[in-house]
Amino acid sequence: MLADPATFRCRCCGACCRVPGYVALVPGETETIAAFLGLDVYAFTESYTRLTWNRRDLSLTEREDGACIFLLPDNTCRIQPVKPAQCRGFPFLWRTPALLKACEGLRDTPARN
Ligand code: SF4
Ligand code: SF4
């Protein structure tokens, strides 16, 4: 049974930010994150994004080890106030079996009745 969202507390383990794959940007997020970083949209997309499988949408880039480019050494997010909807949706709007096991917050949170 999944944890109760009302009592879930993120443990900042960074597991969800280390999974290789797309961190897709929805309309508006490119401009918002660029502004947060003090960059224009072109500079931001050049430095921090790549195309997704459909060659049309954008994803944040990842480091060689598969971690998100914005994951900091202390497991916090460099763009926390404006992080993409995909990030805010984990683990209750989307999840994978592997991530469910890896998420320390889920392990420590009581299940919903
Ligand atoms: S944007 Fe932030 S929360 Fe989202 S994957 Fe990257 S480091 Fe994690
Ligand atoms: S895997 Fe879970 S506990 Fe770890 S940073 Fe992500 S949401 Fe927080």
| 55 dihedral zone (left: phi>0; alpha: psi -120 to 50; beta) | left
Point out the ligand nearest to the CA of residue 3.
2
What letter would DSSP give residue 80?
Answer: G
- Among candidate residues 65, 60, 42, the one with its CA nearest the CA of residue 50: 60
pLDDT digits (tens, 9 = 90+) for 58-96: 999 999 999 999 999 999 999 999 999 999 999 999 888
Residue nearest to atom 6 of ligand 2 (CA): 16
Is ligand 1 within 6 A of the CB of residue 13? no
- With a cut of 70, say whether residue 1 has pLDDT above it: no
Ligand 2 atom with least separation from CA of 14? 5
Q: Which atom of ligand 1 lies at the shortest distance from residue 14's CA?
A: 8
Q: Please compute, for residue 89, the number of CA atoms within 13 A of its CA located in the half-sphere on the CB side.
A: 11
How many other β-carbons are positioned within 10 Å of the β-carbon of residue 59? Answer: 19
pTM above 0.85, yes or no: yes
Fill in the amino acid letter for 63. R
